């Protein structure tokens, strides 16, 4: 079991202060959604959590050991999929196993398993250019599952997709989670996504991003449906928190 703790994270790019005093616990087996106005530092925070950047202040802590057989504890899923266009679906999954000495006969069952879980078994030999956007993101999810991550870091994974595909993929994520709960930090602009997938929703203020409020959603993921009235209420509340910030952030960009 591995938890993540953020302690007093602050970050600046030159004179631009992006994050200020962010402290947060990310518990095993739960999905934390990060919402906030554009430019408030959500992607930056995610890069800090995954060790792709160093915070100017504060620490990111891993508490406890990652589970047995975990190859890459902190694993990203990117908005633009980040698939290698010259590798097939299978090759893209195998890429992240090769460096751990898992190839050929040893890799085959892992690849088959993750492709089956993301319903891609029939497309193992397709190149990314042959796939639709939703399928590409499922390949990226399969690739992330292959390294058996302790925490998945998702930066607007569905925002490059059309709304139907988004619904379908959200259902996929929910069924993946109900079958085998994973820990995730899920950045999104879309409050509907946040209330469908999040056990907690963290609302950030406009830049410099601070935690405005943390909303807990008790309803189990499997019971949440499309246009669920309970969730609508939470979504309303989130929007009321965000509206002012979003408007202010929107106007701020003009004088930057």
Partner 1 sequence: MSDARLETRPMREVRFRGGGFQPERRRWIGVAVFVLVIGLVEWGTRAGWISALTLPRPSEVLATFGELWESGLFFAHLVPSLTRLAVGAALGASVGIATGMLIGLFSYMRAALVPVIAAIFPIPKIALLPLFVIWFGIDEGSKYALIAFGTFTPTVVATYGAVDNVDRTLIRMGQSFGLSWLSIVRKIVLPGAMPGILSGLRISLAIAIILLVAAEMLGAQYGIGAYILEAGSLYDLERLFAGVVILSILGVLVSMTIGFMEQRLLGWRT
Ligand X SMILES: Nc1ncnc2c1ncn2[C@@H]1O[C@H](COP(=O)(O)OP(=O)(O)OP(=O)(O)O)[C@@H](O)[C@H]1O
Q: Which residues bind partner 1 (CB under 8 A)?
A: 50, 52, 71-72, 74-76, 78, 80, 82, 84-87, 95-96, 98-99, 127-129, 143, 147
Q: In terms of Cα–Cα distance, which of 148, 131, 137 is closest to 88?
A: 131
43 lines the binding site for ligand X (CB under 6 A): yes
Task: Decide whether 127 or 174 has the Cβ nearer to partner 1.
Answer: 127
Q: How far is the CB of 230 from partner 1 (least distance, A)?
A: 35
Q: Looking at residues 181 to 220 of the shown chain, list those that interact with ligand X (rule: CB under 6 A).
A: 189, 207
Which of partner 1, Mg ion, ligand X, none lies near 18, with the C-beta cut-off 5 to 8 A by kind?
ligand X
Task: Decide whether 74 or 241 has the Cβ nearer to partner 1.
Answer: 74
Q: How far is the CB of 209 from Mg ion (least distance, A)?
A: 11
- Which H, E and C letters describe 82-114, residue by residue? CCCCCCCHHHHHHHHHHCCCCCCCCHHHHHHHH
Residue 171, both tokens: 């259902």
Q: What span, in angstroms and rounded, lies between the C-alpha atoms of 255 and 104?
A: 55
Sign of CA dihedral 223, 148, 157, 169: negative
At what angle are helices 133-146 and 163-179 packed, to 10 degrees?
20
Task: Decide whether 98 or 244 has the Cβ nearer to partner 1.
Answer: 98
- Of 44, 75, 148, 205, the one binding ligand X (CB under 6 A) is 44
Radius of gyration in angstroms for the set of CA atoms belonging to the chain, rounded to a whole number: 18
Which of ligand X, Mg ion, partner 1, none lies near 128, with the C-beta cut-off 5 to 8 A by kind?
partner 1
Q: What span, in angstroms and rounded, lies between the C-alpha atoms of 88 and 9?
A: 39
Q: How far is the CB of 42 from Mg ion (least distance, A)?
A: 5
Q: Footprint of ligand X on this chain (CB under 6 A)?
A: 13, 16, 18, 36, 38-44, 189, 207
């Amino acid at each position: 079991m591995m938890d993540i703790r953020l302690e007093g994270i602050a970050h600046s790019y030159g004179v631009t202060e992006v994050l200020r005093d962010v402290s947060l616990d990310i518990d095993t087996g739960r999905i934390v959604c990060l919402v906030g106005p554009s430019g408030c530092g959500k992607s930056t925070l995610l890069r800090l959590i995954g060790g792709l950047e160093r915070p100017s202040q504060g620490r990111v802590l891993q508490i406890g050991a990652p589970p047995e057989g975990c190859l890459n504890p902190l694993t990203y899923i990117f908005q633009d999929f980040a698939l290698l266009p010259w590798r097939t679906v299978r090759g893209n999954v195998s890429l992240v196993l090769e460096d751990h000495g898992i190839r050929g006969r040893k890799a085959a069952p892992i690849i088959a398993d993750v492709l089956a879980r993301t319903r891609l078994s029939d497309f193992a030999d397709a190149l990314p250019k042959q796939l639709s956007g939703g399928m590409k993101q499922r390949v990226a999810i399969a690739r992330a599952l292959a390294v058996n991550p302790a925490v998945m870091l998702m930066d607007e994974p569905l925002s490059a997709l059309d709304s139907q595909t988004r619904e379908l993929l959200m259902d996929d994520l929910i069924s993946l989670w109900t079958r085998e709960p994973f820990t995730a930090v899920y950045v999104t602009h879309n409050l509907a996504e946040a209330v469908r997938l999040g056990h907690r929703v963290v609302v950030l203020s406009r830049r410099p991003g601070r935690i405005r409020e943390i909303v807990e959603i008790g309803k189990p993921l499997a019971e949440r449906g499309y246009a669920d009235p309970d969730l609508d209420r939470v979504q309303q509340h989130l929007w009321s928190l965000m509206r002012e910030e979003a408007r202010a952030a929107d106007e701020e960009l003009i004088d930057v």
